[in-house]
Amino acid sequence: MSAQKSGREQQLFGSFASAAVRRGKEFYFDRALAMQFLDRCDIDDFAVIGIEGFRITPTATEPDMTLIADYSGRLITGEWGQIKRACNTDARQFVRAAPEGAFFNFVVSSSDERDSDCAS
């Protein structure tokens, strides 16, 4: 789920750089760190709009095709605060329900990005 990250997104992900597993340009979060990441998204006004689950070994990053969530459709209409709450609440439920040992990669959006995407 790699895409060019805004400066704010880079700061968000960068604040977890020392604790997350990093492969290439991507960050992978275990369950406990994922919950901290979601808390930070709430504080920093980001909505998690996509999640992919992975199995991480010392030599491989294996996607789990049963652990994919897409909340991006919620960005189309509604008030930003409600969208963010709904996305992040569902993301927490998704992470909690995932099998033990799963790692997660997140795609986030902000109200600024949503407004600029809608204006395009």
30: number of CA atoms within 13 Å, CB side? 9
**Contact between 83 and 74 (Cβ < 8 Å):** yes
In-domain check, residue 41? yes
Average pLDDT over residues 61-65: 96
In-domain check, residue 38? yes
pLDDT band at 114 (very low <50, low <70, confident <90, very high): low
Report the number of distinct structural domains present in the chain. 1
- Buried-exposed string 77-106: b where 16+ CB fall within 10 A, e elsewhere: eeebeebbeebbeebbebbeebeeebbbbb
pLDDT at 115 over 80: no
In-domain check, residue 73? yes
pLDDT at 117 over 80: no
Residue 77: which CATH number? 3.30.190.30
Domain that holds residue 83: 7-110
Average pLDDT over residues 10-16: 94
In-domain check, residue 69? yes
Cα–Cα distance, 4 to 66 (Å, whole number): 25
Q: Percentage of the chain surpassing pLDDT 70?
A: 90
